[in-house]
Amino acid sequence: MKSDIEIAQETTLKPIHDIVTDLGLSEEDWEPYGRTKAKLSTGLLEKLEEQPDGKVVLVTSINPTPAGEGKSTVTVGLGQALNKLEKKAIIALREPSLGPVMGLKGGAAGGGYAQVLPMEDINLHFTGDLHAITTANNALSALIDNHIHRGNNLQIDPRRVEWNRVLDMNDRALRQVVVGLGGPTKGVPREDAFSITVASEIMAVLCLAKDLQDLKRRLKKIVIGYTYEEKPVTVEDLDAEGALTVLLKDALKPNLVQTTENTPAIIHGGPFANIAHGCNSIIATKTAAKLGDYVVTEAGFGADLGAEKFLNIKSRAGGIQPSAVVIVATIRALKMHGGVGKSELTTENVEAIASGVENLKKHIETIESFGLPYVVAINKFPTDTQKEIDFLKEWCSTNKVEVALTDVWKNGGAGGIDLAEKVIKKAEGPATNLEYTYDLQDPLEEKIRSVAQTIYGADDIVLSTKARSQLVFFEKLGWGKLPVCMAKTQYALSNDPSQVGRPTGFTIDIRELRASVGAEFIVVLTGDVMTMPGLPQHPAALNMDVTEDDKIVGLF
């Protein structure tokens, strides 16, 4: 079996100029970055305003397991399959973060014959968007510490600076640091932390901005900490929104590449799926909708996190209504949700599937709660037995759930034809209306409870003392009408990652809130959330090399 990078390196890519021309764009609408990448212009979306919108297909999944579900691969394969069916489809994905690429083997650009390319570039520096976000984030940090050092007119309390520095790196040693040591010429000492770049509020802001002016408006509102009197201090107070917007001007432009079958793909933005909303940018999704009949896009983690936030946060902010949802599952992952360990996945086990399928059932109910049509996609693995597949098909039929087998890793678009046909039928069926889980006018506590009960199936929420006082404080500061962005383990519906399948009779502990006022949501932490990953015993970086004939090896 060929590796992803071998398949990638054997693929003949079209010059990006051809991809762009096929989309009907002219010279002023784009800029090349190398021969196979492009950035679309800032004004393109506005220029396309009068064009009709293509249909948005949202790809989500059951709760992820160590078995792997292949959500990105299905997303890419579905786009390719739609093209085979003469629908002009465009894929819209998130940009991978470089940090994890150095840590654990495995990129984030699909796989097999359903990849976005050039995968080496996409997984490394790409067009520099994440580097621009790192720079903007850390420019703000430098301006904050410089302000404190030079008289602190705003009376920022160094103990209440909430703005972390960031690096696009897995770097455990930066999780908790002290900066400003060394005496009067080296600033004011204070505790600080580095997060990974995708956890920066600037990433969320960039992904939710409608245009450059909206980006600036949101940057302005970011709260970087509090004064000694506990008043919020904003980017506007520091007069820094202009510089940050200048630094992000190019990063706001969506990136265009292609798949292994030359289907256009817009890859842009990649916020964390726990402390942020986990979807690619509004500009990318909307531009793709203007340029194609279909946009296939994905949200992070399972439907309880990614899809919930896509629909309650991104759809609301961007006026994006999916015409159909695909829920990805695998036989292997359903077995794990039925309690089987990773080492036993190759043994046939229909009983485990019968139990694990309850996880899928909850996510189906979740999508139904939003009033959206959906198809379940079973992403085939070579180890799946006929009996297991038959059981799952039977279960879907009994429960009146539309299901399609896909085999896009091995067969590209051809492996997703059945799924594509079913998605088209749903998307072109009677129009539906997206029903949000909560109303923005509800109090924050009510919004959190609605998500916990409707989406997770919890009995109730349990607020910590800290969270309770923050709720009062945030409502008082006028942030009560913002949507909530839940940070919960992705591995289970409850906040205990070991509760696979469909737990019942549980409550959700609400530990702490964080205000992402620029992103326009309140982050709700339901447990310890690590915003800076570490490297494993043997980092993937150590496998990478450049051979004597200057070829990259060991990258996936």
Known binding site for ATP: residues? 65-72
Candidate list 154, 212, 350, 389; residue touching a second copy; CB under 8 A: 212
- Say whether 409 is catalytic: yes
**How many other C-beta atoms can be found within 10 angstroms of the C-beta atom of residue 41?**
18
Q: Which helix (H) or strand (E) holds 266?
A: strand 264-267
342 binds a second copy (CB under 8 A): no
The token pair that represents 424 in the structure block:
């088209």
Closer to a second copy by CB, 125 or 468: give it: 125
CB atoms within 10 A of CB 364: 21
Hey, what amino acid is at 454? T
Tell the smallest beta-carbon distance from residue 153 to a second copy (Å): 11
Paired tokens of 223: 């709260």
| 121-127 CB contacts, 8 Å cutoff, 24+ apart | 121/34, 121/36, 121/37, 122/95, 122/96, 122/257, 122/267, 123/96, 123/98, 123/555, 123/556, 124/98, 124/555, 125/98, 126/37, 126/95, 126/96, 126/255, 126/267, 127/33, 127/37, 127/39, 127/250, 127/255
Cis preceding linkage at 536, omega within 30: no
Contact between 234 and a second copy per CB under 8 A: no
Active site residue 2: no
Q: Which residues are annotated as a binding site?
A: 65-72
Binding segment for a second copy among 66-74, 186-194, 478-486, 496-504 (CB under 8 A)? 186-194
Q: Is 473 a catalytic residue?
A: no
With respect to a second copy, which residue has the nearer C-beta, 241 or 407? 241
538 within 8 A of 178, measured Cβ to Cβ: no
Smallest distance, Å, CB 100 to a second copy? 12
* 440 counts as binding a second copy under rule CB under 8 A: no
Q: Is 92 a catalytic residue?
A: no
Pairing of strands 512-516, 264-267: unpaired
Interface with a second copy in residues 246-305 (CB under 8 A): 246-247, 249-250
Q: Verify binding: residue 546, a second copy, rule CB under 8 A.
A: yes
- Closer CB to a second copy, 153 or 433, in the complex: 153
Between helices 201-208 and 212-221, what is the axis angle to 10°?
140
Distance CA 237, CA 211 (A): 22
Tokens read off for 393: 């098909």
For the question of residue 73 being annotated catalytic, the response is yes
Is there a catalytic annotation at residue 393? Answer: no
Secondary structure (3-state) at 290: helix
Query: Of residues 394-413, which lie at the interface with a second copy (CB under 8 A)?
Result: none
Closest CB 156 distance from a second copy, rounded Å:
13
- Active-site residue, 150 included: no
Give me the catalytic one of 301, 370, 479, 556.
Answer: 301
273 catalytic residue (yes or no)? yes
Cα 379 from Cα 39, distance rounded (Å): 32
Distance, CA of 425 to CA of 328 (rounded, Å) = 18
Helix 417-427 with 71-84: angle, nearest 10 deg: 80
Rounded Cα–Cα distance for residues 74 and 80 (Å): 10
Catalytic choice (381, 391, 395, 479): 381
520: left (phi over 0), alpha (psi -120 to 50) or beta: left
Residues 6+ apart with CB under 8 A from 218: 205, 208, 209, 518, 519, 520
Q: Residue 238 Cβ, how far from a second copy at the closest point, in Å?
A: 8
Sign of CA dihedral 418, 420, 421, 425: positive
Q: Is 236 in the site for a second copy (CB under 8 A)?
A: no
Choice from 159, 172, 466, 468 touching a second copy (CB under 8 A):
172
Among candidate residues 30, 409, 506, 521, the one labeled active-site is: 409
Segment contacting a second copy by CB under 8 A, of 4-12, 200-208, 498-506, 543-551:
543-551
d(C-alpha 461, C-alpha 446), whole Å: 10
Tell me which stretch binds a second copy (CB under 8 A): 187-195, 256-264, 337-345, 430-438. 187-195
Told to check if 240 binds a second copy by CB under 8 A, we report yes
| List 30, 36, 37, 73, catalytic entry | 73
Q: How far is the CB of 41 from a second copy (least distance, A)?
A: 10
Q: How many other β-carbons are positioned within 10 Å of the β-carbon of residue 2?
A: 11
Tokens of 1: 């079996």
Contact stretch for a second copy (CB under 8 A) within 225-233, 427-435, 467-475, 536-544? 536-544
181 binds a second copy (CB under 8 A): yes
Of 66-74, 241-249, 354-362, 444-452, the segment contacting a second copy by CB under 8 A is 241-249
**CB neighbourhood size of 278 (10 A):** 28
Binding mask 36-75 for a second copy (x = CB under 8 A): ---x--xx--------------------------------
Question: Which tokens belong to 292?
Answer: 């194609």
Nearest CB to a second copy, comparing residues 138 and 379: 138
Least distance in Å: CB of 138 to a second copy?
Answer: 5
Q: Which CB, 162 or 442, lies closer to a second copy?
A: 162
Binding to a second copy (CB under 8 A) within 7-36 occurs at 31-35
CB closer to a second copy out of 135 and 263: 135
Contact set for a second copy, span 111-150 (CB under 8 A): 124-125, 128, 131-132, 134-135, 138-139, 141-143, 145-146, 149-150
User: Between 74 and 113, how does the x/- string for binding to a second copy read (CB under 8 A)?
Assistant: ------------------------x---x-----------
Tokens found for residue 282 = 């509004």
Q: Pick the catalytic residue from 8, 81, 273, 288.
A: 273
Which residue numbers are catalytic? 71, 73, 94, 105, 273, 301, 381, 409
